[in-house]
Amino acid sequence: MQVRVSGNLAAPIDSIESPPTATARASATFTGLTSTASDPITNYGGALGAIVSVDQSVIAATSAGGGTGVLTITPQLRDPLSGNYQSSTGTIVCTTGVATWMYMYYPGTAVVAGTTVAIGRHDLALGTQYRFSSVGSSSATTWTFSIGVVPIPTAGTSS
């Protein structure tokens, strides 16, 4: 399944509609150390960046010692020639606890670590196609989480 992000993102600044949103990963349960990738997101509108939210709704122990560890979400950019994905440095680290983490990805922004009460920032352009890789740090823990994306539109020119 491919998620399509579209809309008139090149419209004059006084007529920009609300940016389209995408669900990179619907809420699902994921166990332990296995790495999984979200559906690809294709940016048809020319957005330079995005606000990405990770909503961690359940953390549970699957065996003794479980219920601990962190969930790491990594943006992966797609090479348009080979179709291969490469991980970026702009990771989101979700510590244990039910919470929502938000990060802004935009080129030229200062890098700031996010917390459950403050939006983090990464100096990264997401490109025309990307996805998110997820991996947990404990094989004895399950996480239920979703990933949402709101593109940051480029400013158009007024006519």
Please report the domains of the chain, with CATH numbers, ordered by start residue.
19-152 (2.60.120.380)
pTM across the whole model? 0.78
| pLDDT tens-digit series, residues 125-151 | 888 889 999 988 888 888 889 999 988
Tell me the CA end-to-end span of the chain in Å, nearest whole number.
38
The CA–CA distances, whole Å, from 127 to 78, 85, 94, 124 equal: 8, 12, 24, 9
- Structure tokens belonging to residue 96: 């244990």
| pLDDT tens-digit series, residues 34-79 | 788 888 888 877 788 899 999 988 888 777 766 677 889 999 999 9
How many whole angstroms separate alpha carbon 157 and alpha carbon 88?
31
